[in-house]
Amino acid sequence: MDHGENAGTAAAGSARPPAGNGSAPSLPERYDPAAVETAAQAFWDETDTFRVTEDPSREKFYCLSMFPYPSGRLHMGHVRNYTIGDVVSRYQRMRGRNVLQPMGWDAFGLPAENAAIENRVPPAKWTYRNIADMKAQLRRLGFGYDWSREFATCTPDYYRWEQWMFARMYEKGLAYKRNAEVNWDPVEGTVLANEQVIDGRGWRSGAPVERREIPHWFLKITDYAEELLAGLDGIGWPDAVKTMQRNWIGRSEGVEFDFAPAGGGAPVTVFTTRPDTIFGATYMAVATGHPLAAEAAAADPAVASFIEECRRMETSEASLETMDKQGIAIGRNAIHPMTGEEIPIWIANFVLMSYGTGAIMAVPGHDHRDHEFATQYGLPVTQVIRPADGEDLDIAAGAFVEPGIVMNSGQFDGMTSAAAFEAIADWLETTGKGRRTVNYRLRDWGVSRQRYWGCPVPVITSEKRGERPVPAERLPVVLPEDVNVSGGGSPLATLPEFVETTDPETGDPARRDTDTFDTFMESSWYHARFASPDCDTGMVDARADYWLPVDLYIGGIEHAILHLMYARFFHKVMRDEGLIESDEPFANLLTQGMVLNETFYRGDPNGGATYYSPMDVDMERDDKGRVTGARLTADGEAVTVGRLEKMSKSKNNGIDPADMVGRYGADTIRLYMMMQSPPYQTLEWSDAAVEGAFRFLRRLWRMVADHVAAGPVADLATDRLTPDQRALRRKIHETIAKAGDDVGRRYTFNTAIAAVIEMLNALRARDDATPQGRALHREGLRAAILLLAPVVPHVAHALWPALGGEGPVVDAGWPEADPTALQRDTVTLVVQINGKLRGRVNVPAGAERDEAEAAARANPNVARHLEGRSARKVILVPDRLLNIVV
RNA sequence: GCCGGAGUGGUGGAAUCGGUAGACACGACAGACUCAAAAUCUGUUGCCUGCAAGGGUGUGCGAGUUCGAGUCUCGCCUCCGGCACCA
């Protein structure tokens, strides 16, 4: 019986005449990726497939991948990120959702300035050219973006709203100015990014960097600390990322109290989370930037030179925390508020001005760092907590940091740490010497950058009225684009036509701020801008509330803290400004792992190394396929095999996606990326596995072509199948169920693809030419094409009509498993004796313990192991396992 | 240093809620086809032992909980990400 539904739906590029009676479409025998991909992409372009509009009658799905910095070349990390996003987007579309998948450009940043210095190209020109190149590469990969929403953050249409937002924050008291430390290159006379400091020296000048204080604008993210913490509970993010954000916010409850300097002077406030150890404070320490340190430096040249020494240090926390602990006594004492005893005041390089009050009570007995410092400088160590289990310990040998029982603490002796916390806090509060307080590790966000290629800080200063943001109707403050960047400070300060302006209200002469914003500002709200990219009346308009929040946000794990925290903060400020309704920007988050590759190098005499591209190296392997060495193809000489590293320019181990697409086509690269490992793990590049992905597509194509060539197919009559055919059909529907769960819930695309391959292998292993056999074969092939369509959309686009699919495969419904096909009469039960596998038995599905045990005992190998022993316990995991304990 | 994560065959990985360790793929080896090669197809493939049936062993290292641990707990080792101016 003829189906008839296939009539007239031949694939594009079909070369062969129709088979049989003319109703079956035919396919080219060979898989030709270039032809297939050109045709599919032309179809999507012509029909504007991925352009979306708001439709309240349909459920929306907003899938967002972190937009790229336009470096010029797409790298494999991008391809991985965007393939994941495209797979999810196409899957949700097949499930009937109104899917928004936009793309844009995070276009401001340091690399454009570096490129400008190296190549003498203005950053704007360089950036726009890169955007054009990268866009072409993205299109070639077949990602389903709504390009009508594209924007670059370096355009005034975008950043004017960022400037507007800054002005609003200023008016609400969320933006303020104070001094902050930067890395200063004394030779270049510029501020260096942490990345530009290598081993404490400027990367270009080689000069030791210094810490220097300059005025900066700050945003009060700390006002939102409590909400940023609470909001984590309600979002579908990986636990690891939520934990990192919680720890970054670092909410801690403790007490704040004052030490009075002996001999008078302003009291010094300290914060501690361990008031139970307060009697163990044997000295106090302040940061080098603390007022008390400045006071001491003025009086004592030794102190001044110590502080000067500490200044020759980069600003990153990692370097501050790993350096040797050093300090100097200022020669004054402080009065302990509880004992009345005097303890010495030290300046210590490990006390951070930016955390707490910039001063600490040091309890060497019960804090590792205080202990290390005390030991180094011979300061006394007092034990005031003992272990609750009565264990003896030598406090001089190391700090005891756990809670325990209080000792050597007067009236508080014998209390638990928890009880002493409350009692001592009460005592401080009733005597007025201190108070309970909540402290956060989170610091306000410094957004000023002394750079050119960024969004200008929209602030003017006039003599009469001082510093004020530019009024909304005067925005944007446009960044001049036709400039020379030569290193040595921001060019903005040297452009009088930029700097010199007038106060818009009084007409008085005024000067512009010549700093630009941190580029994290742009990436903090682009997710919202995609909903209304052309809005010229505000940051966003009403369309934003249709699309927001983002349903799935995908990007690198390296953004787990900073970018994701800043975007959450901005979103909440926008909500409080009445611009959007949602509380959180990203309802769900998928953090992808990095793309790694092997490295090959030769050391050179002066200690450096030359890295060679894996493409220029031949591997040597032993008979098991293990790598034993490598030689450079060019000269046949050995190169050292390094470790696996993230693909990068410096290690010369990048693989150019454009090359791979040229060789195998976009679908092969997409498939490879998705089948090689789950998205949240690192992915190790393998040429051989790419080849394997290509071979699979060729095999799939052949299977479909052969099936179609064999002529028309009968309708499937599920009630007339042989037991073998029923088993095969169960396999097909188990695969549909598993792949759907893997793609939709688990995002483990690798296991979904493996399941489909397994099913296709089963299909191929059975050469069943009966009418029902062929119908079943078609059901399996159609399921495979639908399940793979999000991953290899071009191939699916070509094969779907050949299998009788109606309409383009992008809008075909995602397959659902037929529950009747999944039913089993019997199951295989694993039989263990004392937890060791001794056999397998078939039992009716749902068999109870007695029945299962009887079946197990009938198995000869099981019986042999049970001989002469009686069962003490029998454990049944229904339909899975039976464990007999003897 | 602090915070977070990872470690399973020759390789990438699978094992989803504590229940068959190694699905699927790559590689390797053997065979078929071929004048030959490529391509394709078939088979074998954790390690030790055994003619076989089978047995032992095995998830970075060391302990523990459990009838049962790759999975949970504790202590280590190694590697990766982040640490506020790379994005």
The pLDDT-based confidence of A633 (bands split at 50, 70, 90) is: confident
The pLDDT-based confidence of A624 (bands split at 50, 70, 90) is: low
The mean per-residue pLDDT over the stretch A309-329 comes to 85
What is the spatial distance between Cα A205 and Cα A198, in angstroms, rounded to a whole number? 11
Looking at the predicted structure, is the pLDDT value of residue A473 above 60?
A: yes
Asked if the ipTM is above 0.90, the reply is: yes
The mean per-residue pLDDT over the stretch A512-540 comes to 97
Looking at the predicted structure, is the pLDDT value of residue A283 above 60?
A: yes
Looking at the predicted structure, is the pLDDT value of residue A256 above 70?
A: yes
Look at residue A483 in the predicted model and tell me its pLDDT. Answer: 85
Q: Beta carbon of A557 within 7 Å of strand B?
A: yes
Q: Beta carbon of A238 within 7 Å of strand B?
A: no
Token pair 């401080």 is found at A428
What is the spatial distance between Cα A857 and Cα A514, in angstroms, rounded to a whole number? 85
Q: Beta carbon of A873 within 7 Å of strand B?
A: yes
Interatomic separation, CA of residue A750 and C1' of nucleotide B21, rounded (Å) = 19
Q: Beta carbon of A691 within 7 Å of strand B?
A: yes
Residue A243 tokens, joined: 């934990």
> How much is the pTM?
0.93
What is the spatial distance between Cα A296 and Cα A331, in angstroms, rounded to a whole number? 8
The pLDDT-based confidence of A6 (bands split at 50, 70, 90) is: very low
Looking at the predicted structure, is the pLDDT value of residue A430 above 90?
A: yes
Q: Considering chain A, what is the average pLDDT of its residues? A: 91
Q: Beta carbon of A396 within 7 Å of strand B?
A: no
For A99-108, A383-392, A400-409, which range has the lowest pLDDT when averaged over its residues?
A383-392
Look at residue A610 in the predicted model and tell me its pLDDT. Answer: 84
Look at residue A7 in the predicted model and tell me its pLDDT. Answer: 30
Interatomic separation, CA of residue A875 and C1' of nucleotide B55, rounded (Å) = 24
b/e code A515-545 from CB counts within 10 Å (16+ = b): bbbbbbbbbbbbbbbbbbbebeeebbeebbb
Q: Beta carbon of A191 within 7 Å of strand B?
A: yes
Q: Which of residues 773-832 of A touch strand B (CB under 7 A)?
A: 828, 830, 832
Looking at the predicted structure, is the pLDDT value of residue A5 above 70?
A: no
Residue A309 tokens, joined: 């020494």
Look at residue A9 in the predicted model and tell me its pLDDT. Answer: 33
For A38-52, A632-646, A775-789, which range has the lowest pLDDT when averaged over its residues?
A632-646
Looking at the predicted structure, is the pLDDT value of residue A12 above 80?
A: no
Which residues lie across from A589 on neighbouring strands? A553
The pLDDT-based confidence of A63 (bands split at 50, 70, 90) is: very high
* Nucleotide at minimal C1' distance from the A755 CA: B24
Nearest to A879 by CA among A839, A838, A824: A824
Residues with Cβ < 8 Å from A846, sequence gap 6 or more?
A878, A879
Residue A630 tokens, joined: 């490598």
- Going by their DSSP bridges, the two strands A466-469 and A342-348 should be labelled as unpaired
Q: Which of residues 468-497 of A touch strand B (CB under 7 A)?
A: none
Token pair 């910039």 is found at A358
* Nucleotide at minimal C1' distance from the A107 CA: B87
The mean per-residue pLDDT over the stretch A381-410 comes to 88
Looking at the predicted structure, is the pLDDT value of residue A19 above 70?
A: no
For A40-44, A86-90, A498-502, A708-712, which range has the lowest pLDDT when averaged over its residues?
A708-712
Look at residue A654 in the predicted model and tell me its pLDDT. Answer: 84
Segment A546-561, tens digit of pLDDT: 999 999 999 999 999 9
Nearest to A89 by CA among A627, A633, A743: A743
Handedness of CA A336, A340, A341, A345 (dihedral sign): positive
Q: Which of residues 634-673 of A touch strand B (CB under 7 A)?
A: 643, 646
- Give the best-scoring range by mean pLDDT among A504-508, A618-622, A690-694: A690-694
Q: Is the peptide bond before A549 cis (omega within 30 degrees of 0)?
A: yes
Q: How many CA atoms within 13 Å lie on the side-chain side of A114?
A: 10
Look at residue A640 in the predicted model and tell me its pLDDT. Answer: 82
The mean per-residue pLDDT over the stretch A341-359 comes to 89
Segment A184-196, tens digit of pLDDT: 998 888 899 998 9
Residues with Cβ < 8 Å from A213, sequence gap 6 or more?
A179, A180, A181, A182
Residue A114 tokens, joined: 């570096």
Cα of first residue to Cα of last residue in chain A, in angstroms, is 60
What is the spatial distance between Cα A103 and Cα A68, in angstroms, rounded to a whole number? 9
Look at residue A223 in the predicted model and tell me its pLDDT. Answer: 97
Look at residue A178 in the predicted model and tell me its pLDDT. Answer: 93
The pLDDT-based confidence of A521 (bands split at 50, 70, 90) is: very high
Q: Which nucleotides of B are covered by protein (CB under 7 A)?
A: 1-5, 10-16, 19-21, 23-29, 39-42, 53-56, 67-69, 79-87
For chain A, the C-alpha Rg in angstroms (whole number) is 34
Please report, rounded to a whole number, the percentage of residues in chain A having pLDDT higher than 70.
96
Which residues lie across from A215 on neighbouring strands? A179
Helix axes A771-788, A749-765, angle to 10 degrees: 160
Nearest to A493 by CA among A457, A537, A524: A457
Look at residue A25 in the predicted model and tell me its pLDDT. Answer: 54
The pLDDT-based confidence of A623 (bands split at 50, 70, 90) is: low
What is the spatial distance between Cα A796 and Cα A790, in angstroms, rounded to a whole number? 8
The mean per-residue pLDDT over the stretch A216-232 comes to 97
Could you give the residue ranges of the DSSP H alpha helices within A141-275?
A: 156-171, 225-231, 239-249
The pLDDT-based confidence of A24 (bands split at 50, 70, 90) is: very low
Q: Beta carbon of A120 within 7 Å of strand B?
A: no
Q: Beta carbon of A621 within 7 Å of strand B?
A: yes
What is the spatial distance between Cα A201 and Cα A881, in angstroms, rounded to a whole number? 63
What is the spatial distance between Cα A364 and Cα A380, in angstroms, rounded to a whole number? 8
* Nucleotide at minimal C1' distance from the A248 CA: B3
Provide the greatest CA pair distance for chain A: 108
Look at residue A15 in the predicted model and tell me its pLDDT. Answer: 35
* Nucleotide at minimal C1' distance from the A748 CA: B16
The mean per-residue pLDDT over the stretch A76-83 comes to 95
Look at residue A4 in the predicted model and tell me its pLDDT. Answer: 31
CB atoms within 10 A of CB A786: 23
Look at residue A8 in the predicted model and tell me its pLDDT. Answer: 32
The pLDDT-based confidence of A490 (bands split at 50, 70, 90) is: confident
Segment A745-777, tens digit of pLDDT: 999 999 999 999 999 999 998 888 899 999 999
What is the spatial distance between Cα A209 and Cα A187, in angstroms, rounded to a whole number? 9
Look at residue A625 in the predicted model and tell me its pLDDT. Answer: 60
